[in-house]
Amino acid sequence: MRPFLFNEKIKEKIQANLLRWFKENQRDLPWRKTKDPYAIWISEVMLQQTQVQTVIPYYQRFLNIFPDLRSLAKAPLSKVLKVWEGLGYYSRARNLHQASQIVLNNFNGRIPDRLEDLLRLPGVGKSTAGAILSIAFNKKAPILDGNVKRVLSRLIAFSNDQRKERGENLLWQISQSLIPKGVARTFNQALMDLGSMICTPRHPNCQDCPLMKLCQGFGSGKPESYTPSSFRKRIPHFFGIAAIIQKNEKVLLIQRPPEGFLGGLWEFPNWRIGRNERRLSVRLRNKIKEEFGIEVIVKNDLGPFSQAYSHFRLTLQVFSCEYLHGNGMGRWISIKKLDQFPMSRIHRELSRVI
């Protein structure tokens, strides 16, 4: 297949218009105040599938606690997960932690500035590597995040059907080919800002776009149609029961396995149940006895707690329980220290109602 190339004049116009626009309109973001590759790496990982406004407080806090690569590499994973708590996609925190140790050991603590080295770090894919190379090192490396995909797709009127047939290689090529010499850092950030501020998914503000006259999506009259159509499957709704088991001033927590869903996070004992199950408190007491070997009295129904995940919805019916006797797995945690343990959102909410 012939590589896609803009006419040289068009390309220069795109570059000039975008850079001019960026100079006046760029967002003021905390990670733009630094050129520290470590800090930029942190920001890029946090920004994976996560909106800028959500990331900002996490980024500030993370860098206060782990100001440099060594401090991150030397920290226990549980502490990293704790700082990450609430941000989601916790494998990012695990990968970041592991990658920081690789960088410390194999690269003398310096974030590598070669694509092949970056791609070997867990949690760094092509787009994050491109962002680090361009933003931290001003190298001519392409990025292709959600914003840039949309901007470039509209720019060349790359339809969803074409995207399905041809994949995204074309968009990568264009992203690469557009970068002007010497200003990769600025240009890539300009592409992202355009995508988030002007070339938005549903109602792009074409009238304010510096690329309007050069944009084939605008020319087509239907710039909204170039966002990938997602046939969202109906997500299942799961139900469960959870127990806050108190013994003196402590409660029973279990830690999830280190990999997979919410890996490494702590939670209150909980079990899936059917949608229409009854006698939940009896069910819960039996479960606790079977799995933990602990006898309890189920006391209060603390009500339902719900959380929507990407692929399912969960509603937990929560009961407070009084410990009687027995011993098993799990860990008794002082209620005062619950805040120190990384938890997913719904379990953090439970910890607040004790």
Partner DNA sequence: AATCCGGGGAC
Partner DNA sequence: GTCCCAGGATT
Binding interface with DNA (CB under 7 A): 27, 29, 31-32, 43-44, 47-54, 86-91, 95, 121-129, 131, 145-147, 150, 167, 189, 192-193, 195-196, 201-202, 227-228, 230, 232, 260-263, 307-311, 344-346
Q: Is 90 exposed, middle or buried (0-12, 13-18, 19+ CB in 10 A)?
A: buried
Nearer to DNA by C-beta: 8 or 28? 28
Instruction: Note the residue count of the chain.
Output: 354
Q: Name the strand (E) or helix (H) holding 73.
A: helix 69-74
Place of tokens 């860098």: 63
Q: Please give the DSSP secondary-structure letter assigned to residue 3.
A: P
Phi first, then psi, for residue 120 (nearest 5°) are -80, -15
Q: With left for phi above 0 and alpha for psi between -120 and 50, is residue 326 left, alpha or beta?
A: left
The alpha carbon dihedral of 270, 272, 278, 279 has a sign of negative
CA–CA separation, 325 and 294 (whole Å): 6
- Minimum distance from residue 53 beta carbon to DNA (Å): 5
Nearer to DNA by C-beta: 295 or 349? 349
Nearer to DNA by C-beta: 130 or 323? 130
Tokens of 207: 């009238």
Of 8, 12, 24, 44, which is the active-site residue? Answer: 44
Nearer to DNA by C-beta: 241 or 343? 343
- Minimum distance from residue 96 beta carbon to DNA (Å): 10
- Minimum distance from residue 95 beta carbon to DNA (Å): 6
- Minimum distance from residue 249 beta carbon to DNA (Å): 26
| Strand-pair partners of 341 | none
Tokens of 333: 């945690």
- Minimum distance from residue 62 beta carbon to DNA (Å): 14
Nearer to DNA by C-beta: 246 or 270? 270
Phi first, then psi, for residue 11 (nearest 5°) are -60, -45
Q: Terminal CA-to-CA distance of the chain, rounded, Å?
A: 63
Give yes or no: 44 in active site.
yes
- Minimum distance from residue 189 beta carbon to DNA (Å): 6
CA–CA separation, 228 and 233 (whole Å): 15
What are the Cα distances from residue 190, in Å, to 37, 39, 135, 184?
19, 19, 11, 10
Nearer to DNA by C-beta: 140 or 285? 140
Catalytic residue numbers? 44
